[in-house]
Structure 1
Amino acid sequence: MSLLNRDSDAATQTDSDADEPMVRVENLKKHFPIHEGVLQRRTGEVRAVDGVSFSIEQGETFGLVGESGSGKTTTGRSLLRLTEPTGGTIEIDGQNVVDLSDEELKRFRRNMQIVHQDPTSSLNPRHRVKTIIEAPLKIHGYGSADERLDRIEELLEMVDLPREFLYRYPGQLSGGQKQRVGIARAVALNPKFVVLDEPTSALDVSVQARIVDILEDIQEEYNITYLFITHDLSLLRNVADRIGVMYLGRLVETGDVGSVFETPEHPYSRALLSAISTVSEADEQLKPEQQPIEGEIPDPREKPSGCAFRSRCPYAFDACSGDEPPMYELGDDHDSRCYLHDDQYQEGPGW
């Protein structure tokens, strides 16, 4: 079983290029205008993503986690230009995606794909499985009809679906089977980077583990880079190499999965971790002290001044209402956006 050969220029990649991350995002912004009144005048904007920066190494899984409304899905869609970013730089495999023309973007899309959250709405109910998986192969001119059929059968085997599913419609499949079809379609062209937008959240718990196993097997064998978007922080412990915690369009903590889980440094991260479910007493003892978050995530049109989390933070003090805190470097690849890490604020309450 083998995937398509990637672009020929990958074979001539220099050592310096190989050291570069597969994905580099700098100061990414996506602002949605607000129009009101009969004349639909612009009265403001929603800063769904407001200056996000991170990188993902080749073959790595970067987990993006946060509550609904934090901007994580908009971030993922902006990386692929499914939503046009307002500003910032997005480099995938050394290519600045933001600068690509429509024609260049179409050619480059074979290198970047997405698996959607809802497998039912992401598949055309009028098309058979064969047609759905074949679509990207046709669009990018892959082989003859017989070669495409061979490729589709190979992909079905990869996602653990029998050949007879070729001629079924999505309505004849379970949720987990639909998601496997979505995964097969996403990796049909052997992409280098895949956005996984909550790929298990719409599935039964009994099916989620198998979908994760399939994604990990594909990544391990073909060295695909993942951005794994989820609201389930406990899931990332098993699938991610590094984690970014988002709140109201900004990253508030980033770090390798061990650091974030064992020593969460932002109050929001601590609150999320304290609320996850555990199955053993040992895991329960590793959780931070229970810190329930008060209230709902604020309306992104009316963000609090200073630290966006201060209106719900049990540790908020005077400095938090001034300027927004920067990202503080706390160690190797572990950063947190919180004034509690700044020695000059002695009036802070500490942990």
Structure 2
Amino acid sequence: MSQPLHTDRFEYAPGDQIQDEIAVFDDKDPLLRVENLSKHFPIYEGIIKRQVAAVRAVDDVSFTVPRGQTFGLVGESGSGKTTLGRSILRITDPTHGTVEVDGTDVTSLSGGALKKQRKDMQMVFQDPSSSLNPRKTIKQIIETPMKIHDIGSAGERAQRVEELLEMVDLPREFMYKYPSSLSGGQKQRVGIARAVAVNPKLVVLDEPTSALDVSVQARVIEILNDLQKRFDLTYIFISHDLSLIKNVSDRIGVLYLGRFVETGDVDSVFQDPQHPYTRALLSAIPTVTDEDRQYKPPELTLEGEIPDPREKPTGCAFRSRCPEAFEPCAEEEPAMYQTDSTRCSRCYLHDEAYQDTGGSDDQ
């Protein structure tokens, strides 16, 4: 993991409402800046295909990631993690908002300009078996991005493939194998090698270890850490595994129904989670060691499922499952509140106007 994050405090104080996380954590030279990013999927019905609703998979998300650091995205299935990652890379086009990678507004690009920009933005997919072309050799798979971006001669690309295989701990002989002859962990290492082949600045890692055996996961994480140090890579690490996120991230964002409910320095969030949803997620982590137990808050069981994203509830989207919900939660969605110098939380419990009355059952 990179060095602990250093951020500048602005005019905000604990308990203040803020427009977004960028207002507090405004890094001086972020590699990635995401502002008010949304992705809505329209729903059509009828013969004339009239739009009747929209799924707000990502809803007005803002954050920054300093160069060379890792931002962890966590949340339950359906929270919008993967859609956010794909929208950042323009694999799917966002509905609105902006994404800047090293100062370039990615959302304004198209055609050749977007193709050129993709060299700086790569992705490692969750399922290595489905992300590798079974009809191509490992050499052909890894060198494909280099061919697309016209990097090097055939001989130089072959040499680069050899170097990349060594970096991801695979023997040179794998160059001429096909994906079907590789294990899941080996396939994922090929996917990682392909992602870094063109020297990107930003890599989105979508659950890169979830399909792997526990014995293989640690080695894959070690490889990712080594590559980050070697190439000064900036990572977006998507996972539902909070123990993993804690070990690989510098800062994290907790997503619920397409919106951040808590963001902050990873150690601060794990030691003292501010949002009820974050506390519930952390309380569900299995504990084995004393170190695990010291980060685990009192058990908090969530009732029910995530609401239908086509029909978000009024007020706070989490209120139907929150054990601390009270009257204001049903009236209007809370803003993000700065809770200390490293964190923000979307909860009325941090509004000074409600701190003497919120969270009790007798409201």
Change (3 A) 1:282 1:184: closer
Between the aligned partners of 1:74 and 1:255, the Cα distance in structure 2 is 21
1:328 maps to 2:322? no
Equivalent residue of 2:205, what SS? strand
Between the aligned partners of 2:313 and 2:213, the Cα distance in structure 1 is 37
Partner residue in 2 for 1:208: 217
Change (3 A) 1:115 1:282: closer
Between the aligned partners of 2:359 and 2:28, the Cα distance in structure 1 is 42
Q: Percent identity?
A: 66
Partner residue in 2 for 1:348: 358
Which residue of the other structure, out of 295, 300, 307, is the alignment partner of 1:298? 307
Which residue of the other structure, out of 2, 25, 37, is the alignment partner of 2:34? 25
1:275 maps to 2:277? no
Change (3 A) 1:282 1:145: closer
Partner residue in 2 for 1:98: 107
Partner residue in 2 for 1:338: 347
Between the aligned partners of 1:281 and 1:190, the Cα distance in structure 2 is 40
Which residue of the other structure, out of 69, 79, 82, is the alignment partner of 1:70? 79
TM-superposed deviation, 1:279: 1.5
Aligned pairs for 1:41-56 (under 5 A) are 41-56=50-65
Q: Does the 8 Å contact 1:27/1:89 carry over to 2?
A: yes
Partner residue in 2 for 1:284: 293
TM-superposed deviation, 1:36: 1.2
Moved more, 203-212 or 18-27: 18-27
Equivalent residue of 2:186, what SS? helix
Aligned pairs for 1:1-351 (under 5 A) are 19-345=28-354, 346-349=356-359
Change (3 A) 1:282 1:96: closer
TM-superposed deviation, 1:341: 0.6
Between the aligned partners of 2:360 and 2:304, the Cα distance in structure 1 is 22
TM-superposed deviation, 1:215: 0.2
TM-superposed deviation, 1:285: 3.9
TM-score by length of 2: 0.90
Partner residue in 1 for 2:11: none
Between the aligned partners of 2:82 and 2:294, the Cα distance in structure 1 is 32
TM-superposed deviation, 1:350: 6.3
Moved over 6 A (4+): none
* Amino acid in the other structure paired with 1:294: E
Q: Does the 8 Å contact 2:262/2:275 carry over to 1?
A: yes
Between the aligned partners of 1:262 and 1:321, the Cα distance in structure 2 is 29
Between the aligned partners of 2:169 and 2:288, the Cα distance in structure 1 is 28
Between the aligned partners of 2:176 and 2:334, the Cα distance in structure 1 is 55
Between the aligned partners of 1:259 and 1:285, the Cα distance in structure 2 is 13
Equivalent residue of 1:22, what SS? strand
Equivalent residue of 2:162, what SS? helix
Between the aligned partners of 1:49 and 1:305, the Cα distance in structure 2 is 17
Q: Does the 8 Å contact 1:340/1:350 carry over to 2?
A: no
Equivalent residue of 1:283, what SS? helix
Q: Does the 8 Å contact 1:32/1:48 carry over to 2?
A: yes
Note the alpha carbon deviations across 1:124-154, whole angstroms, 9 max, x for none: 0111101000101111111111111000000
TM-score by length of 1: 0.93
Change (3 A) 1:19 1:328: closer
Between the aligned partners of 2:150 and 2:360, the Cα distance in structure 1 is 59
Between the aligned partners of 1:295 and 1:349, the Cα distance in structure 2 is 19
Note the alpha carbon deviations across 1:233-279, whole angstroms, 9 max, x for none: 11111100000000000000000011100000000000000001122
Equivalent residue of 1:142, what SS? coil
Q: Does the 8 Å contact 1:113/1:191 carry over to 2?
A: yes
Partner residue in 2 for 1:10: none
Q: Does the 8 Å contact 1:156/1:162 carry over to 2?
A: yes
TM-superposed deviation, 1:108: 0.9
Q: Note the residue ranges of structure 1 that are not aligned, 5 or more in a row.
A: 1-17
Between the aligned partners of 1:258 and 1:128, the Cα distance in structure 2 is 42
TM-superposed deviation, 1:282: 4.3
* Amino acid in the other structure paired with 1:348: G
Note the alpha carbon deviations across 1:13-46, whole angstroms, 9 max, x for none: xxxxx94100000100000000112332111111
Equivalent residue of 1:272, what SS? helix
The root-mean-square deviation of aligned C-alpha atoms, in Å, is 1.2
TM-superposed deviation, 1:304: 1.2
